[in-house]
Structure 1
Amino acid sequence: MKSIRSILLVALLQVAATTSAFAADELAQIKSAGVFRVGTEGTYAPFTYHDESGKLTGFDVDIATAIAQRLGVKPEFVEGKWDGLIAGLDVNRYDAVVNEVSITDARKVKYDFSTPYISTHAVLIVRSDNTTIKSFDDLKGKKSANTLTSNFGKLAAAHGADVVPVQGFNESIDLLTSGRVDATVNDELSYLDFRKHKPDAKLKIAATDTSSDDDQSGVLIRKGNPDLQAAINKALADIKADGTYAKISQKYFGKDISQ
């Protein structure tokens, strides 16, 4: 019996060592492969979307590309719907998720984040002729278009909204403008970008969530990769120091949002 226990213990230790070695060596594996695999939606303008030619572009796409360049590799984007995007890390579909993933205590239990690379507020968007929804509390019993697992969807639900599930910002706006929902709780920067492209859209911001600190987003990676985390943090610091971040910022928002 003692012999069997010893064999099992050795086997478990070997599995643990293998798992630890794999995790610790992810940065080396990325550099060896020459590719930084990035999970992203591709449907969330201006952060990750397809332009008129069909090319994947956006603020987060450019940030991820700049990180890859400073890691000395090429970016490889793997697109997926938001509701399953983070879970893609668990099955090794990619090395990181760069998709405005909010840094929360719940997510930090299972994953690691880079330092924040962007911050924003949640806003309550309604049609211009809406006079009944003036605050988040007015969402009670109203329909709000949101991705179910996003912080925005959770915020809408917390205020009593009937959350109508969608795949991204664009679908939320489509449902709102067509009158199929009463509102959407969404990202302030996404809305400002939308207004920049469609200034005549009959929508408005009814309220801004200032009940908590700015919503900060970071690059999401698997737990136990301190070398990769440090390398990504250094890349982010470098692109802010050399002006790359400011250029990307100006391109999508018309101002430097690094502060």
Structure 2
Amino acid sequence: MYTYTQEVLTIRYLRFALISLLLSSLLWIVACSNQSQSDNQLTLEEGVFSYAMSGLYKPFNYTDSKSGNLAGFDVEIGEALAKEMGMKPNPVTNPWESIIAGLQANKYDAIIGSMAITPERDKAVDFTNPYYRSGAQVFVQDKNTSIKSPEDLKGKKIGVVKASTFSTIAKEYTSEVTEYTSDVTALQDLPTGRIDAVITDQAVGFHAIQEENFPLKEVGKPLNLDEMAIAIPEGNEKLKEKINVALQAIIEDGTYDQISQKYFNRNILGEEQ
């Protein structure tokens, strides 16, 4: 026989089921709304393109001694891309050894910091099309006569920047590798005798010699050719496509060449190898 108690329990159950259904529907609507917002918003802050670099890689990215602002090739490429995308540029700095971790933690939208594409990095981030190509070059003190070719690096003390592809190359020649926070600091240490050579980007070394009057010289030809690209969080295909379109646009309209000529007196995009 259907009792009063059973009736009350049934009503309570129906109320509970209805409330659960309403809550589930509400959560689904919120989730869909957030997903839609995420899909439509390419960057962390709408209308702003924040991009990171070490700020210690002159002439690619550094702090201008007069203005105190970030300057360099990477900074201006980021500004040109942001303008092309209809966004406000926001260059920021982050230590190089943790710059990918910062991207993964959503501290900024991208890395425009002269990052070479490597298989290991490609597992952690997505890369755009290359925005310049350059090689790893050996530099020594200008009076050095013992290192005339890369083969002479065996057993020598080599300086490189932390967490760089240059560090990997240096370890192919010697176990005595000293890591620095910046390539410029490593180059400055050469005349002291604490290290015998530095492996860094060719353009960085040439700039130190020609513009900063560092008492250095290059050894042989570049050890390799790296393709530098813009790193973005994995899976953000819309941002990747938007940057690639903007990059192609500034290449075609001459903006890229203008920036490159300003810093290097040549176009450093080069030809695809």
User: TM-score band, normalised by the shorter chain?
Assistant: 0.7 to 0.9
What residue ranges of structure 1 are gaps of 5+ in the alignment?
1-9
Cα distance per residue 1:79-137 (max 9 Å; x no partner): 11111111111111111001010011221122110100000111110011212122223
- Cα gap change, 1:155 to 1:31, in 2 (>3 Å): closer
Q: Report the CA distance shift for 1:36/1:22 in structure 2 as closer, same or farther (over 3 A).
A: farther
Is 2:213 the counterpart of 1:203? no
- With normalisation by structure 1, the TM-score equals 0.86
In structure 2, the residue corresponding to 1:75 is in which secondary structure? Answer: strand
Match of 2:43 among 13, 27, 30: 30
The CA distance in 2 between the partners of 1:107 and 1:92, in whole Å, is: 17
Q: How many pairs are equivalent? A: 240
Structure 2 length as normaliser, TM-score?
0.81
Retained in 1: the 8 A contact 2:47–2:88? yes
Amino acid at match of 1:207: G
Residues 161 and 167, structure 2, Cα contact 8 Å, conserved in 1? yes
Cα separation, 2, equivalents of 1:22 and 1:79: 30
Change (3 A) 1:38 1:23: farther
Question: Which SS does the other structure have where 1:117 is aligned?
Answer: strand
In structure 2, the residue matched to 1:45 is 58
Change in CA separation of 1:207 and 1:24 when aligned onto 2, cut-off 3 Å: farther
- Residues 148, 220 of structure 2: 8 Å contact kept: yes
CA distance in 1, matches of 2:105, 2:185: 28
Corresponding position: 1:149 with 2:163: yes
User: How big is the shift at 1:225?
Assistant: 1.1
- Aligned partners of 1:22 and 1:130: how far apart in 2? 61
Q: Deviations over 1:43-77 (max 9, x none)?
A: 10000001221221000000011111112111112
Q: Quick one: which amino acid aligns to residue 235 of structure 1?
A: A
Q: Distance in 1 between matches of 2:209 and 2:179?
A: 23
2:70 and 2:187 map into 1 onto residues whose CA distance is: 20
Aligned to 1:137: 151
Deviations 1:219-252 (A, max 9, x none): 0011111111000000110000111001101110
The counterpart of 1:68, out of the listed 82, 103, 109, is 82
Is the 8 Å Cα contact of residues 24 and 224 (structure 1) preserved in structure 2? no
Query: Deviation of residue 186 (structure 1)?
Result: 0.5
Q: Verify: 1:231 aligned to 2:242, yes or no.
A: yes
Report the alpha carbon displacement of residue 181 of structure 1 after superposing the two structures with TM.
Answer: 1.1
Secondary structure in 2 matching 1:52: coil
Amino acid at match of 1:38: Y
Distance 2:234 2:36 in 1: 11
Secondary structure at the counterpart of residue 163 of structure 2:
coil
Structure with larger Rg:
2
Note the 1:69-148 alignment, pairs <5 A.
69-148=83-162
Q: Name the stretch that deviates more: 216-225 or 160-169.
A: 160-169
In the alignment, which residue of structure 2 is the partner of 1:254? Answer: 265
Q: 2:202–2:222: 8 Å Cα contact kept in structure 1?
A: no
- Of residues 233-242 and 126-135 in structure 1, the stretch that sits farther from structure 2 once superposed is 126-135
Distance 1:256 1:69, change over 3 A: same
Structure 1 CA distance for aligned equivalents of residues 260 and 227 of structure 2: 16
Cα RMSD of the aligned pairs, angstroms, is 2.3
Q: Secondary structure at the match of 1:177?
A: helix
Give the corresponding residue for 2:12. none
**143-152 or 31-40, which deviates more:** 31-40
Q: Equivalents in 1 of 2:189, 2:44: separation in Å?
A: 43
